[in-house]
Amino acid sequence: MLKMPSMRAHGVRTLGGRDVPEVLRVLDADPVAACMIAARVEEIGLDARLLHGQLWARGATKSSLCFSGANLVPLSGGPDDVRAFADRAARLPRVCSSLVGRAELTLPLWEELQADWGPPREVRAEQPLLAVTHVPDHLIDRDVRQVRPHEINAYFPVAVAMFREEVGVDPLAGDGGVGYRRRIANLIDAGRAYARFDGERVIFKAEVGSMSRAVGQIQGVWVAPDLRSHGLGTGGTAAVAAMVNAGGRIASLYVNSFNTPARRAYARIGFRRVGTFTTVLLD
């Protein structure tokens, strides 16, 4: 019989409900980079069933933290912590499809894991992490608005197109897109999916994929291919960022370093670099 590692193997422990206040203090210290995890912990705490993952710490929570779920996200720690998190992840069945987080943590974590997890599908080593707190009014596309629930049939196909283009896999594979459609529907229902329509056609889209108390992280920015290089991406992203800012939050996103047009557009909007992310995509 296969023996599973203990919850405290190699000094790594799984955090629970009583750790929530300390976890939130740690995440609040790095609000932009930690937005994806902070948003979930703020909403549902550390119940692994609801969180769809676990938060790990080695030693004091304030000095090391890592999320393990659909993504493996190192949040803080030193070299010894990263090695311990990698050892813990390698000893458990792999549940994540990617590693993502600050480059200075994610790249060393991947170096420790790659021998066990095999070659990656892609490593995006340098993804500037950007943030903005004020968007110039003249850049905002006033035709960009929240998507309404009844518009999902127009919105969903372009969300699929964006995912295929950006991630390189088909979100319809496996379950026919049921899970991805549910995710998009939830974002629409929450008022966090935005688009510009030309009649019934979506020509720009973006979502606020994660929203913590301090930060809204923009994702899935897409412009209809035949309308690119006409300013729709700049105006649309400016509109979404301005709406995030209007709620008292920092607007953030991360972008591939090689995507020069997008980086220029974000710079015009006022986004400034606050760090570097790395994403390792796994098969």
From 208, 206, 210, 186, select the one nearest 265 (Cα to Cα): 206
* Distance between CA atoms of residues 86 and 15, nearest Å: 17
Average pLDDT of span 7-34: 89
Cα dihedral sign, 87-88-90-95: negative
- Where are the domains positioned within the chain? 9-118, 132-277
Q: Is the pLDDT of residue 148 over 80?
A: yes
Res 62: pLDDT? 87
Q: Is the pTM of this model over 0.85?
A: yes
- The residue behind tokens 């203990």 is 6
From 228, 259, 43, 232, select the one nearest 130 (Cα to Cα): 259
In this structure, which amino acid lies at residue 28?
D
What six digits make up the tokens of 270?
Answer: 């006022």
What six digits make up the tokens of 93?
Answer: 């069945």
Q: Residue 7: pLDDT band by 50, 70, 90 thresholds?
A: very low
From 213, 151, 214, 152, select the one nearest 183 (Cα to Cα): 152
* Distance between CA atoms of residues 222 and 203, nearest Å: 8
Can you tell me whether residue 19 is helix, strand or coil?
A: helix
Residue-wise pLDDT for 68-98, tens only, equals 999 999 999 999 999 999 999 999 999 999 9
Question: 132-277: what CATH class?
Answer: alpha beta
Task: Classify residue 78 by its DSSP letter.
Answer: -
